[in-house]
């Protein structure tokens, strides 16, 4: 590969690497769950084949919540159905579960007369959240118990296996444990980031996307190291330039040991040169140059005294003294002449010394060291300069590696995009067929894929969002803006059915899924819920016998009034009680023999018979495909 074009520390060919929009939503749809060996095929799983998920919600306990005083519900693997008359409190259970999973507490939902409400759920084999538990410091073992207590003043506590937990931590766990349809806050498939992961799961490229994400992270690390080294090299270059300038400044100054002291002494002498010159001139004049100079006068004294001693020898000794004095003064005069000749009163030299001392003082202030230490500082800077040699070899290597990795990422992202485009049409077709079976004949769902070109994220170059239209002539809108709870639940059921083998959330709760449907559509919805329960634990609240008849476990919710207090209770039905409940759901409060016969027939068409003729639930034992 040709060397990359370099441009002031950047790469012309480097695409933009962007972090994912929401780190908390990364990897929400990883590879198929480990507890089942699934060969992923788009579409529904054949009836009668059950893959019981390893993680199930086995028990839900609710205390002092709305009409519930103290209720414990033990769910089964597979398909669990809750029925009961309108107003009995079926949706209260979903509300309690939503609160446990991180919903906003409402003080008005605390049972009258109680100070707090407590919701507790126990899950078995929570392997799907092993990494989350480890990260949050939760000792999960073979079971996970979540407990949330809310008080009227808004305060409360959250525990996971007796370990305190934050609301954010609770959300991280529950997003991977339970998906509630009918309560928007728990519908993962309403999130655009999950749409991309859903499409990848359907296309069978989740593992490939994860490899891309790993390569993306490696490329980011190379870029970060390159940026770090370039920044370090830039700082090193700036440091070298500064050190080199400082060294040259001190080197060019050439300050010698003892030079400053000598200059200052010379400066002091030069400052008195004019006065000293005048005094010497005066001494020269007094000693020799004036008409009545001292030396001239002494010579006259000596001559006159010589004449006197010739006349009187008594003063001869004084003649010698005068001669000695004249000799001494003559020596002084000669010394003054030499001193005068040596005296240099040069204004240029004064300026030169002043400039030199000014430079020294400036360097002392700049480097904050005395003049005597400036030569040592120059030597130190020279040594530092030698250690700041610039080696761009590693930077050049990283630039080439960065270009190579970015080119590979762009190619890999393009391959992912092609596979997503290919899977998009198949997914849309499969969902259209599912919609028709569930009474949404006119509904359209379009998988919108927008490419950002070379602007990459850990998922590639694409952003994916599901667009939906329920009726002919209506524009496609983002799925998250679909308002109808029942309609939305059926859309989610269609998606869950198509993606049954790759959706890792083990517990699915459907509320309001039967709103506005009946007859053949209700029968189809029931079958799809039953088939979905082969890979997930399904909990469904329904008013329709066509759905309830497919259940592995059937619970009825009732409301009683005792001692002036109303409360909700729940119980699991045995086979005969199921017949009566289906008859009530079909015929109303007055149950007839024909209604009971019809109920038994419904169960017979939904489940195989045992030897005694009773309807029995499908075997939940794990079957490998």
φ, ψ (nearest 5 deg) of residue 95: -65, -40
Least confident of 19-23, 117-121, 134-138, 187-191: 19-23
What integer best gives the mean pLDDT of the chain? Answer: 80
**Cα 313 from chain centroid (whole Å):** 122
Least Cα distance to 119 among 177, 45, 66, 60 occurs for 60
Contact 532, 508 (CB under 8 A): yes
Neighbouring CB atoms inside 10 A of 398's CB total 18
Contact 356, 263 (CB under 8 A): yes
Give pLDDT, residue 440.
81
Residue 60: pLDDT band by 50, 70, 90 thresholds? very high
Least Cα distance to 253 among 414, 95, 362 occurs for 362
Task: Please enumerate in sequence order all residues whose Cβ is within 8 A of that of 349, keeping only pairs 6 or more positions apart, or say none.
Answer: 270
Within 13 Å of residue 288, how many CA atoms lie on the same side as its CB?
A: 15
More confident residue, 103 or 4: 103
Contact 200, 29 (CB under 8 A): yes
Full strand arrangement of the beta sheet holding 156-160: 68-74, 56-65, 116-124, 143-151, 156-160, 163-164
Contact 158, 167 (CB under 8 A): yes
Residue 557: strand pairing partners: 570
pLDDT digits (tens, 9 = 90+) for 365-414: 998 988 888 888 888 988 888 877 767 888 899 999 999 999 999 999 99
Give pLDDT, residue 410.
93
Give pLDDT, residue 609.
32
**Cα 178 from chain centroid (whole Å):** 25
* Confidence (pTM): 0.59
Cα–Cα distance measured from residue 572 to residue 259, given in angstroms and rounded to the nearest whole number: 106
Percent of the chain topping pLDDT 90:
24
More confident residue, 553 or 560: 553
Neighbouring CB atoms inside 10 A of 231's CB total 11
Give pLDDT, residue 17.
64
254 conformational bin, left if phi > 0, alpha if psi -120 to 50, beta if neither: left
Question: Residue 48: is its pLDDT beyond 70?
Answer: no
More confident residue, 496 or 421: 421
pLDDT digits (tens, 9 = 90+) for 238-268: 888 888 898 889 888 888 888 888 888 888 8
φ, ψ (nearest 5 deg) of residue 169: -65, -40
Over residues 603-620, mean pLDDT: 50
Percent of the chain topping pLDDT 70:
85
Question: Residue 50: is its pLDDT beyond 80?
Answer: no
Cα–Cα distance measured from residue 511 to residue 499, given in angstroms and rounded to the nearest whole number: 20
Angle made by CA atoms 427, 430, 436, in degrees to the nearest 5: 135
Residue 79: pLDDT band by 50, 70, 90 thresholds? very high
Contact 527, 196 (CB under 8 A): no
On the 0-12 / 13-18 / 19+ scale of CB atoms within 10 A, 273 is middle
Cα–Cα distance measured from residue 102 to residue 97, given in angstroms and rounded to the nearest whole number: 9
Question: Residue 51: is its pLDDT beyond 70?
Answer: no
φ, ψ (nearest 5 deg) of residue 276: -65, -40
Contact 552, 77 (CB under 8 A): yes
Question: Residue 59: is its pLDDT beyond 90?
Answer: yes
Residue 63: pLDDT band by 50, 70, 90 thresholds? very high
Residue 161 Cα distances to 56, 99, 135, 414, angstroms: 16, 18, 14, 45
**Which among 41-45, 186-190, 573-577 has the top mean pLDDT?**
573-577
- Say which DSSP state 457 is in: B
Residue 485: pLDDT band by 50, 70, 90 thresholds? low
pLDDT digits (tens, 9 = 90+) for 417-464: 999 999 999 999 998 888 888 878 888 889 999 988 778 999 999 999
Residue 300: strand pairing partners: none
Least Cα distance to 122 among 149, 136, 103, 140 occurs for 140
Give pLDDT, residue 16.
62
């Amino acid at each position: 590969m040709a060397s990359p074009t370099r441009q002031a520390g950047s790469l012309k060919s480097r695409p933009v690497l962007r972090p994912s929009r929401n780190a908390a939503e990364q990897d929400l749809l990883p590879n198929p769950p480990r507890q089942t060996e699934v060969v992923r095929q788009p579409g529904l799983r054949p009836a009668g084949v059950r893959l019981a998920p390893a993680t199930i919600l086995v028990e839900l306990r609710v205390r002092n919540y709305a009409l519930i005083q103290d209720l414990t519900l033990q769910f089964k693997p597979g398909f669990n159905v809750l029925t009961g008359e309108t107003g009995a409190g079926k949706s209260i259970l979903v509300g309690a579960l939503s609160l446990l999973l991180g919903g906003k507490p409402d003080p008005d939902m605390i049972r009258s007369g109680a100070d707090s409400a407590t919701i507790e759920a126990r899950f078995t084999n929570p392997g799907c959240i092993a990494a989350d538990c480890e990260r949050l410091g939760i000792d999960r073992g073979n079971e996970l118990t979540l407990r949330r207590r809310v008080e009227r003043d808004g305060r409360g506590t959250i525990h996971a296996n007796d370990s305190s937990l934050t609301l954010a931590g609770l959300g991280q766990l529950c997003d991977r444990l339970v998906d509630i349809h009918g309560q928007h806050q728990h519908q993962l498939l309403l999130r655009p980031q999950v749409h991309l992961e859903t499409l990848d799961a359907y296309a069978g490229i989740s593992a490939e996307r994860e490899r891309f994400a790993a390569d993306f992270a490696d490329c980011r690390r190379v870029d970060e190291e390159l940026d770090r080294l370039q920044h370090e090299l830039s700082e090193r270059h700036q440091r070298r330039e500064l050190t080199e300038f400082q060294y040259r400044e001190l080197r060019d100054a050439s300050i010698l040991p003892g030079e400053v002291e000598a200059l200052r002494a010379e400066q002091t002498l030069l400052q008195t040169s004019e006065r000293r010159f005048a005094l010497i001139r005066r001494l020269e004049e007094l000693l020799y140059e004036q008409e009545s100079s001292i030396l001239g006068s002494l010579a006259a004294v000596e001559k006159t005294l010589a004449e006197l001693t010739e006349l009187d020898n008594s003063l001869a000794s004084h003649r010698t003294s005068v001669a000695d004095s004249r000799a001494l003064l003559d020596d002084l005069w000669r010394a003054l002449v030499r001193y005068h000749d040596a005296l240099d009163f040069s204004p240029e030299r004064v300026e030169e010394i002043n400039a030199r001392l000014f430079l020294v003082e400036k360097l002392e202030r700049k480097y904050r060291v005395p003049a005597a230490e400036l030569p040592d500082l120059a030597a130190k800077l020279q040594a530092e300069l030698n250690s700041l040699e610039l080696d761009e070899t590693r930077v050049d290597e990283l630039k080439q590696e960065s270009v190579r990795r970015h080119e590979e990422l762009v190619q890999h992202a393009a391959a992912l995009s092609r596979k997503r485009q290919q899977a998009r049409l198949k997914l849309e077709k499969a969902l259209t067929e599912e919609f028709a079976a569930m009474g949404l004949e006119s509904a359209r769902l379009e998988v919108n894929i927008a490419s950002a070109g070379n602007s990459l994220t850990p998922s590639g170059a694409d952003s994916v969002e599901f667009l939906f239209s329920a009726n002919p002539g209506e524009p496609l809108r983002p799925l998250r803006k679909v308002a109808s709870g029942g309609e939305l639940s059926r859309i989610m059921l269609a998606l869950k059915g198509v993606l049954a083998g790759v959706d890792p959330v083990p517990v699915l709760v459907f509320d309001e899924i039967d709103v506005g449907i009946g007859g053949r559509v209700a029968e189809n919805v029931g079958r799809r819920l039953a088939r979905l329960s082969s890979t997930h634990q399904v909990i469904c609240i329904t008013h329709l016998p066509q759905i309830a008849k497919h259940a592995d476990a059937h619970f009825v919710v009732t409301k009683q009034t005792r001692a002036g207090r109303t409360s909700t209770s729940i119980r699991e039905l045995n086979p005969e009680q199921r017949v009566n409940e289906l008859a009530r759901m079909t015929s109303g409060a007055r149950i007839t023999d024909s209604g009971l016969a019809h109920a038994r027939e419904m169960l017979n068409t939904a489940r195989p018979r045992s030897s005694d003729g009773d309807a029995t639930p499908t075997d939940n034992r794990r079957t490998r495909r």
